[in-house]
Each structure stands twice: as C-alpha cells, then as structure tokens.
Amino acid sequence: MNKKRIAFVINYFYPDLASTGQLMTELCIDLQNDFDITVFAAQPGYAGEKEESTKRFQVDQLENIKVVRIKLPKVNKTSKVSRIKYILSYFIYAQIALLKEKNLDVIYTISQPPILGGLIGTIGKFFKRAKHLYNIQDFNPEQAAAVDYTNKAIFKVARFFDKLNCRYADKVVVVGNDMSETLKERFNNKRVPSNIVINNWTNEDEVVPLDKNEK
C-alpha cells in the first residue's frame, strides 16, 4: 500500500538548535515509517551553525526522511532589515520548493515565520490540492500587539491573512487551551476553524532529573 505523502514546511530542522526544530525533528522521525515525509527547512545557520552548501536547494536524507534545505541570506538578528530579508527569502523559496514537489497529500506548516509560515500552506493547499495542517506555536499579530511591537494598520493586515490561514486550514493545531480560546476570540466564537490542542513535549529519554549534587 502506498504511503500518504506529507510535506513539512517548518523552517528549523535537525541539526538546527531552535526549539521548534527539535520538536519537529522528533515528530518527523516518529512518523517516518507510516508516511512518506519530505521536510522543507532553512539550512542551519540562523543560530550560528555552520552552513555546508552553496546551492539554493540542497537535498539530503535523515533516516527515511527527505530533507530539502534552503540557502538563505545571513541574518543579523539585531537588524530589522536583515531579519525581514531573511524571512521574505524563506517565504519565497520555501513556497517555490513546495510547489515543485509532486503528489502531496498533506502540507504541515507552523507559525514561523509569523503569518507567512501559515500562508505557505494556504497557497500550497490550493495549488497542490492537498490538506493543510497549521500548527500555531505563537499567535501573531496578537502577541506583537500585546507588547506594542506593531501599528494598527500592520496589525489589521497581518490578522486578516492569519485568519485566512486558519479558515482554510483543514485542522489548526494549537499548543495550549488558552490558545484555543484566542482562536475562538479571533472568530468571535462563530464558525471557528476545526482545531485541536496538542501540547509541546519533551523527550523523556533525554530530559531526566539530575541528582542535586550533580552540576
């Protein structure tokens, strides 16, 4: 029997050090025997890891998982311009790579970068005629607005597009009950998109209590 094909468009992936990269790596490894998985992620380097390839798209393998790594511009995290260039480059090239992939059944995206991560899946859903699972790790632009990091015009545009992402997703995955309530508030408790709460996890084989005398 042919396995269902899932594309994970998740920005960070092994060996990247970002926490979401570690979570998504564990998820893909756990699913690899039941599904045919392709991961689209940035080449490691955002957190200072060494970049290996000069190609725009480098294909490699992690166990049974096909990994398409996207070369992006180096980022200066203290510069908004540099970060915006990095985010937009990821959005454009990840979208191109996803649309080139054939015979997809499911597209799985996360809310990184904010709004655009989900928009990759929304666009991909219609072009590839696949289902879209949208994992929201942080609600933006609400989070940015809470710390006065955005203006009203940008807030309205960003919220419009992320509501669109949620509305067209086949399932919205949030990581806490409070986020489920935020999702309901977005839609004024009317025609709330299908959603489920799946908390982020820890690997109990690797994260264990230490003796109080250990440093």
Give per-residue pLDDT as tens, 60-83. 999 999 999 999 988 887 888 888
What is the reported pLDDT for 52? Answer: 61
d(CA 39, CA 104): 12
Mean pLDDT of 112-129: 93
Cα separations (Å) of 198 from 50, 90, 107, 181? 32, 26, 18, 14
Of 110-124, 129-143, 159-173, the poorest mean pLDDT is in 129-143
Higher pLDDT, 193 or 155: 193
Which pLDDT tens digit goes with each residue over 145-187?
A: 555 556 677 778 888 888 899 999 999 999 888 889 989 988 9
| Average pLDDT taken over every residue of the chain | 86
Of 27-31, 112-116, 172-176, 199-203, the poorest mean pLDDT is in 199-203
What is the reported pLDDT for 162? Answer: 87
Whole-model pTM: value is 0.86
Cα separations (Å) of 200 from 18, 54, 143? 14, 33, 19
Enumerate domains of the chain plus CATH numbers.
5-197 (3.40.50.2000)
CB atoms within 10 A of CB 138: 14
CA dihedral 29, 4, 124, 156 (to 10 degrees): -60
Tokens for 65?
């998982």
What is the reported pLDDT for 204? Answer: 62
Local confidence band at 205 (pLDDT 50, 70, 90 cut-offs): low
Which pLDDT tens digit goes with each residue over 5-34?
A: 999 999 889 988 788 888 999 999 999 999
What is the reported pLDDT for 97? Answer: 95
